[in-house]
Amino acid sequence: MSMDPKHAMRVARGTKKASLVLKNARIINVYTGEIEHGDIAIEEGKIVGVGTYNGADEINLQERYVAPGFIDGHVHIESSMLTPPAFASLVLPKGTTTIIADPHEIANISGIDGVRFMVESSRNIPLEVHVMIPSCVPATAYENNGATIDVQDVEALKDTTGILGLGEVMDYPAVLEGEENIHQKIASMRGRIIDGHAPDIVGNDLNAYTLAGVMTDHECTQVDSMLERLRRGMYVHLREGSATRNLATLIQGVTKDNLHRTLFCTDDKHPEDILEEGHINYNINLAIQHGLAPVDAIKMATLNAAQCYRLDHLGAIAPGKQADLVVFENLQKIEPMFVFKRGVCVAKHNKALFETQAAKQKAVTQTVNVKKAALDFQLKLSHDTVRVIGLIPKNITTKQHERTVKLDAGHFSYDPKQDIMKLAVIERHRATGHIGLGLVEGFGFKQGALAMTVAHDSHNIIVVGTDDAAIEAAVDKIIDIQGGIVLVKDKKVIDYLQLEIGGIMTNQPVETVSAALKRMHQSLQEMGLAKTVDDPFISLSFLALPVIPKLKLTDIGLFDVEQFKHVPLEAVTADED
């Protein structure tokens, strides 16, 4: 207790006025499941009492509900394309007061400098940011990224203020094989929280993964996999992002007996979706819509997350807890009216009440370095039967299809009757000249190309398009603006968003980023974007991630995640529709 004990006891006992009292509240008690009626006394940013109190400053809540501040258990700030200060202005009005951030996106570009950039730019903002040291940079050895984080880097970072634990352990094959590098990182962070990333790991392999020290997983898409992880003592995040929307399925497996081991996360969510839907409050509301009791849903977003990440000062409205509070009117649909962080009102009626400053960025700019002479997008094929990556609606996993495609003089030729387009991943960190070519089915748009330097997790240039001229125009613009998102129609650039920080973030305002994404999404829809593609930018960005099943593309070539190796484009075994 930092405040003077005598003063604290007098305020808590009600013999001295508190600095701030929230009067006449309906208080969500996440310990007992009750809704209490009373006052909340706040002193020096902490809750000192719940009951009947008088304050030097009083706010009459008029029987409105008050919940603890919401916690996002796993999020990549970079996926919002915003720096931490701007991200804070976006999510605090939605009731999210604390996040567990894994900066492996910027780390794959700028290494330890990228992690330090995120830690330092997260200081002195109202949002509480706990940073996990990225564990898998690069994600695998089957691609080229911009930097490496080894065990020496983990040791150098782990005692930095703001660092909480070890980020998602994505290279699960290395863990299961007992490879020294990843196990050294885990051992270095023993006693801290170690996050997982375990798609499709089952049975004894899951036993081995948890034995290694991994404590959480946010990759569950089916109830059975969630329950298996809960049985083995893991915490499971119910994820609801822009493209990965798993909550409605998983909530069906949440019961009174296992609720305490579940929490919420967004993982990757674009700013326009946060503005329109909400953030963790959206997860809560969706869980309620699917039958979970409101107080239980709030508990998942607060106490459960705090206990999972050992944030003992957070997660409840009780004496000694930090005064992070969300005030709202409707228990069935939480739309925050007031949000308090450490007893200070930081958002009101969906507006942030604080100014944001541009994050310092010198170490993480000018990161697009391409060997332009090596750019050749012609896809030579010896026969017309090929492997094709298939998009899956509302997920970042993919299918592996066998398709017959049109050839022109031994090269792939786009057929407007087929929804199959060329996909390219271009190394952009060290100008190696590496370029991987493949095919993807499911985007649907015509006569154009979409290119980005947001391509998980190595963040090379990824581009999908109908013809080489459109693809080349999009890539040229990406290089010119040193990273971002570029949309080409009829071989001409029609719109773009510059992401000058690492090619994945910008200091531009939330509204500018959101407006650009909306415009480009609308343009893609006018170009024929498939209705099954909720977020074309996130869908495209994950086609380069070789730790998410089934088929992906890196700058080295086509990658079969289940076999965990590169495979030829033409050597297809069987259709897996």
Q: What is the pLDDT of residues 236-260, one digit of tens each?
A: 999 999 878 999 999 999 999 999 9
- Write down the pLDDT at residue 548: 86
In what side-by-side order are the strands of the sheet with 193-196?
Answer: 70-75, 96-101, 128-133, 163-169, 193-196
Domain co-membership, 140 together with 265: yes
Domain co-membership, 106 together with 219: yes
- Is position 49 within any domain? no
The answer to whether the predicted template modeling score (pTM) of the entire model surpasses 0.75 is yes
Total count of domains within the chain: 2
What CATH number is associated with residue 302? 3.20.20.140
The whole-angstrom separation of Cα 128 and Cα 162 is 9
Q: Could you give the angle at the alpha carbon of 239 between the alpha carbons of 34 and 36, nearest 5°?
A: 10
**Could you give the C-alpha distances from 550 to 175, 389, 544, 547, 559, in angstroms and in order?**
19, 8, 11, 9, 8
Domain co-membership, 395 together with 493: yes
In this model, does residue 1 exceed pLDDT 80?
no
- Is position 333 within any domain? no
Domain co-membership, 403 together with 254: no
Dump pLDDT digits (tens) for 356-407: 877 777 789 999 999 998 899 999 999 999 999 999 987 889 999 999 999 9
Contacts of 311 (CB under 8 A, 6+ apart): 71, 98, 130, 305
Do the Cβ atoms of 536 and 441 come closer than 8 Å? no
Percent of the chain with pLDDT over 90: 90
Reduced 3-state DSSP string for 7-48: HHHHHHHCCCCEEEEEEEEEEECCCCCCEEEEEEEEECCEEE
Nearest to 120 by CA among 88, 157, 162: 162
In this model, does residue 470 exceed pLDDT 80?
yes
- Is position 4 within any domain? no
- Is position 87 within any domain? yes
Reduced 3-state DSSP string for 76-133: CHHHHCECHHHHHHHHHHHCEEEEEECCHHHHHHHHHHHHHHHHHHCCCCCCEEEEEE
Domain co-membership, 273 together with 404: no
In this model, does residue 553 exceed pLDDT 80?
yes
Do the Cβ atoms of 458 and 425 come closer than 8 Å? no
Domain co-membership, 372 together with 293: no
- Is position 557 within any domain? yes
- Is position 23 within any domain? no
Do the Cβ atoms of 45 and 343 come closer than 8 Å? yes
Dump pLDDT digits (tens) for 31-64: 999 999 999 999 999 999 999 999 999 999 999 9
Domain co-membership, 87 together with 163: yes
Token pair belonging to 252:
């069906």
**Could you give the C-alpha distances from 542 to 108, 137, 239, 457, in angstroms and in order?**
14, 16, 16, 8
The packing angle between helices 84-91 and 104-121, to 10°, is 80
Domain co-membership, 151 together with 297: yes
- Is position 330 within any domain? no
- Write down the pLDDT at residue 266: 97
Residues facing residue 435 across a β-bridge: 426
What sign results for the dihedral spanned by CA atoms 357, 361, 366, 368? negative
Residue 575 — very low, low, confident or very high, per pLDDT cuts 50/70/90?
very low
**Could you give the C-alpha distances from 15 to 9, 11, 46, 53, in angstroms and in order?**
9, 6, 17, 9
Backbone angles phi and psi of 39, in degrees to 5: -115, 160
Give the residue numbers spanning the domain of 508.
Answer: 365-566
Q: Which residue has the higher pLDDT, 571 or 300?
A: 300
- Is position 335 within any domain? no
Do the Cβ atoms of 496 and 473 come closer than 8 Å? no
